[in-house]
Structure 1
């Protein structure tokens, strides 16, 4: 059977304190910020009010960095799922004497049905617990630790809940029962019987804003119902893909939507920071920002999975964010904060132990200062794919898109850090050249809409020059394939994008040889694809990393485009099998244990899943 959204039941004899497997987490989103909830019913990651804000709960990265758990006091088995067509999580705990169901959501705004998902979101996390049969004692532990666990706030009881004050945060915890406070942790024990439901909530503001307040049980019930309806309505309006693995594709579309910052149109690469690419290694990065590349890929994937009516917002965000950062002598910055911020300076948080002692924990990302010339192609590729959705963009956006093509024409000969953001010396990476070709190819096709017909001849001449150079300089007879950079014999999975973007047909003999070389020599024992060989030392970092799920889906997509559909299906299912019990993927898979690694959930992995499924469906329809 093909992979689908699974429901796994596991026995839990005692709660874990930290270091839970990455796959044990589920995502909540209000299209402003994100939370991760463990299979044990603990919120171990929550950043208010934006994806990139300091965490309020950070036990994901350190046992003392805060959590909010709701779980039975007895031994239990547990299963969970997302409510149909939503990112509202339902966890069912089965105990010897009864069953309780925990429902978790980051609340949507009051008028989010069908459109503007997340607009006016109240910065509110809701958790309801219902006893559906028998009697179950339930434990609640609320331990906020703002600013990545640096603060232990002052907790005070108030009518209907608990307030927390510390630093710039004002947190109000709504509870239907009295809470016992010890230091900066509040706890409660609830004997529940069949038919009882209790709602808990966390509301957040800052000292400069209107204070957060206690929510009544009726208000929380209404807001939770409205959040479910908002997701259902959005899915009904936007999701129409009917091909193979429909459930996984639609769910991946919702995940990508959940990684969108509604106020600006920015899209983050993942909901977390510093989840490692190898346990105990240094490849730990903050992914809570909007990469031009990842966001552009997201918009293209949403074209398949979710009819992106946010396309205009995205391009307007990019235009505004990039203002002043592109032009003659000025390369496009490759990533921005979700509000359009440019300075994303990287620092470490030495007080945090890291997930399973994987240090350092980083916030910010030093890659913001890198030159990566592929970004011009990815943005113009998204603009071309979404041309029907961006027919009414303003003159500034049209000028921005034209400037992208001009920059690609000027910069394609320059070395850069490439798609994998190597921290070694710049090189002439093949993928970057191909993306500059793509920038000009798509600009030529968009020339009428861009009002740039007078530039077509010059663009065509440079596009063809790039093509000839890549063919002559990028092929390596020793490797029998296109390789990572000019003069290299090392393979790079990014070259699987060559047929995907139309640089060469997938059944071209050189492309078939490259596909086979990657499948044979750049995979682990499970058949999952590495990005490149870390042994070559090109990335300037110590240690190794896991197999990369996006690259494995690229292999499936390229095989489908080459007409090798059964082989493509096998590769797709091999990668999709690593979705966790609620259909989420991290960035990588550990080559020894098979455990998910890297930031989570990872937009690129879900993008790869969507596009590979689409390619296989198209190959099936033309077979």
Structure 2
């Protein structure tokens, strides 16, 4: 049991297991503290990560207070977690995974005796509705195996394993595991109006899930210095992808704070067009052509319809209604409130999004993927939307909740959208008003250089007419707006280093104490921004600095290779939602940049090597 007032586990102490529909976060202490069934964006059944055990968790760990974790790791190239426990009486291996075999929504925990005899404790507190709904629980047997059934409204959870005892709205018990013993626990969710799913063949399910992940990971084309980190990052992107729809969530969690004790707590269990576009690029760069097409098709389905209804994010299947609300019954991670579900940024206008989509689809064309009768007309419609809103201010890439502005990054991404359109006609023979798009593109470039670049400061600025910096300016050369070594870019980098680098050498997105983002100041460095700086250093000829920063950033991964959204380098702890797709995407790009700058095989040609 957690003691009164005890804090949740550090974010970096969590592991992710996934079934390509949802994911569970398991602490180093053996507790499943976050799990939503049956989808990433469903209500949670365990929410202790945002509160206390009374908000739902599933603990399996040795009873002895002298127990210790000897090692915790994934089986190579998989999301099958293994935790080796040692106690004075013996040792056990706990294997946690989510089966992929029959599309059921479940978690399996296998305990194997390695030495001596170990007493394990199990504590189960099921709370549907984000920790708010206590279910009706009954117990019985099924083919001689104890079963526990919890039901509340449309949801049912069935646990197969050692019998538990009711104790103050939770269930707990102990069981012995001797050397050579194997004890399996299976927790399965199903709609309460349906029949109970039959027992799973655990051996078969485990073999199948290992085979799947290993086969998928083996397809990763990367042999550079950071190959292991790149492969794990690509595996994370796959683990955060909904198998049926192709939608990728930004993270499997909500409301893990960007500032401990603060209000910058957001729900990331949705699909941002920006993330989908960057994921598409990462996948095709590293040999996953099929996955790239899946994400392209999700993206095109999501934005289909009236271009005026374009959103920056969607649900896993392309849902458009994602209303934000606060869960007042949850005290939050590290007392960070409010806890939010849904995301109000869905209603924002972010002018960069069309550009992000167009850049990704242009690169897909460059890899030889032809447009169909749906994809190119839809892109033309998006260009029409961008042209109609050419003079509109927006909220920017960081989803500012202050006044609308002309963000320099947003204007550059609009330029990129029309630049891709021009090249689609010129280089790929697609239909469209090439000269008209050229005129819009060139007009945007002239405007950006006049209004987004401060000659006195020798730097691009966050917004037109301003003096503040923004790390998203590092993306200007990434989309070809200017060269990495252009004097204007070098001047911008110099100011970014001066104004946005913290004492530990990490890059802030922007200065929250001097930017109008609608919230109280304060957040930790956003890891993706520092990876962008690695990319800039690598392409700008500062290879030693790129390597040092890359090593520092990769070193912030936990023992399982997972990265959060932000990092508190002062206290050596992760912050923000976890694991974060954007951080892993940026890691892949940075590793590619270093490999290219060293003159090694161009990773962007990897698909051609298939």
Counterpart check, 1:95 vs 2:76: no
- 2:283–2:291: 8 Å Cα contact kept in structure 1? no
**In structure 1, what is the equivalent of residue 78 of structure 2?**
86
- Corresponding residue to 1:174 among 153, 156, 160: 160
**In structure 1, what is the equivalent of residue 114 of structure 2?**
132
SS in 1 for 2:385: helix
- Corresponding residue to 2:274 among 293, 310, 314: 293
Task: State the distance in 2 between where 1:256 and 1:579 align.
Answer: 15
SS in 2 for 1:386: helix
Runs of 5+ in structure 1 lacking a partner? 1-11, 111-120
Task: State the distance in 2 between where 1:274 and 1:139 align.
Answer: 30
Counterpart check, 1:141 vs 2:141: no
**In structure 2, what is the equivalent of residue 197 of structure 1?**
182
Task: State the distance in 1 between where 2:133 and 2:306 align.
Answer: 36
* Cα distance per residue 1:79-138 (max 9 Å; x no partner): 21111011111111122221111111111135xxxxxxxxxx211211111111122111
- Corresponding residue to 1:77 among 62, 68, 75: 68
- Corresponding residue to 2:199 among 209, 215, 240: 215
**In structure 2, what is the equivalent of residue 582 of structure 1?**
560
| C-alpha deviation, 1:278, in angstroms | 0.3
* Cα distance per residue 1:424-473 (max 9 Å; x no partner): 01100000011111111222223379864332221112111111111111
Task: State the distance in 2 between where 1:595 and 1:425 align.
Answer: 32
SS in 1 for 2:128: coil
**In structure 1, what is the equivalent of residue 385 of structure 2?**
407
**In structure 1, what is the equivalent of residue 48 of structure 2?**
59
- Corresponding residue to 1:105 among 83, 97, 102: 97
Task: State the distance in 2 between where 1:36 and 1:389 align.
Answer: 36
Counterpart check, 1:493 vs 2:471: yes
Task: State the distance in 2 between where 1:374 and 1:331 align.
Answer: 15
Task: State the distance in 1 between where 2:340 and 2:273 align.
Answer: 20
Task: State the distance in 1 between where 2:558 and 2:115 align.
Answer: 28
Task: State the distance in 1 between where 2:170 and 2:411 align.
Answer: 54
Task: State the distance in 2 between where 1:195 and 1:254 align.
Answer: 32
**In structure 2, what is the equivalent of residue 619 of structure 1?**
597
- 1:312–1:390: 8 Å Cα contact kept in structure 2? no
| C-alpha deviation, 1:513, in angstroms | 1.3
* Cα distance per residue 1:398-449 (max 9 Å; x no partner): 2112222333333233210000000001100000011111111222223379
| C-alpha deviation, 1:168, in angstroms | 1.2
**In structure 1, what is the equivalent of residue 513 of structure 2?**
535
| C-alpha deviation, 1:244, in angstroms | 1.8
| C-alpha deviation, 1:557, in angstroms | 0.3
- Corresponding residue to 1:250 among 207, 212, 231: 231
* Cα distance per residue 1:462-518 (max 9 Å; x no partner): 111111111111111343311101001001000000111111100111111111221
* Cα distance per residue 1:7-61 (max 9 Å; x no partner): xxxxx99999651111111111111111100011110000011110000111000
SS in 1 for 2:55: coil
Structure 1 residues 227 and 393 mapped into 2: Cα distance closer, same or farther (>3 Å)?
farther
- 1:83–1:90: 8 Å Cα contact kept in structure 2? yes
Task: State the distance in 2 between where 1:263 and 1:371 align.
Answer: 28
Aligned residues: 594
**In structure 2, what is the equivalent of residue 122 of structure 1?**
104
Structure 2 counterparts to residues 167-566 of structure 1, below 5 A: 167-175=153-161, 177-208=162-193, 210-215=194-199, 219-236=201-218, 238-305=219-286, 307-326=288-307, 330=308, 332-387=310-365, 391=369, 394-447=372-425, 452-566=430-544
* Cα distance per residue 1:263-302 (max 9 Å; x no partner): 1111111110000100111100000000111121122122
Task: State the distance in 1 between where 2:275 and 2:110 align.
Answer: 34
Task: State the distance in 1 between where 2:483 and 2:358 align.
Answer: 20
SS in 1 for 2:358: helix
Structure 1 residues 300 and 454 mapped into 2: Cα distance closer, same or farther (>3 Å)?
closer
Task: State the distance in 1 between where 2:188 and 2:367 align.
Answer: 36
- 2:537–2:545: 8 Å Cα contact kept in structure 1? yes
| C-alpha deviation, 1:391, in angstroms | 3.1
Task: State the distance in 1 between where 2:399 and 2:455 align.
Answer: 26
- 1:173–1:214: 8 Å Cα contact kept in structure 2? no
**In structure 2, what is the equivalent of residue 152 of structure 1?**
134
- 2:504–2:570: 8 Å Cα contact kept in structure 1? no
Task: State the distance in 2 between where 1:363 and 1:451 align.
Answer: 45
* Cα distance per residue 1:291-339 (max 9 Å; x no partner): 111121122122334514122222222222222241xxx1621110112
SS in 1 for 2:380: helix
What TM-score, normalized to structure 1?
0.92
- 1:268–1:288: 8 Å Cα contact kept in structure 2? yes
**In structure 1, what is the equivalent of residue 31 of structure 2?**
42
Task: State the distance in 1 between where 2:443 and 2:426 align.
Answer: 23
- 2:177–2:183: 8 Å Cα contact kept in structure 1? no
Runs of 5+ in structure 2 lacking a partner? 602-610
Task: State the distance in 1 between where 2:390 and 2:60 align.
Answer: 54
Task: State the distance in 1 between where 2:59 and 2:287 align.
Answer: 33
Mean Cα deviation higher: 479-488 or 349-358: 479-488
**In structure 2, what is the equivalent of residue 113 of structure 1?**
none
Superposition RMSD in Å: 2.1
Task: State the distance in 2 between where 1:560 and 1:15 align.
Answer: 49
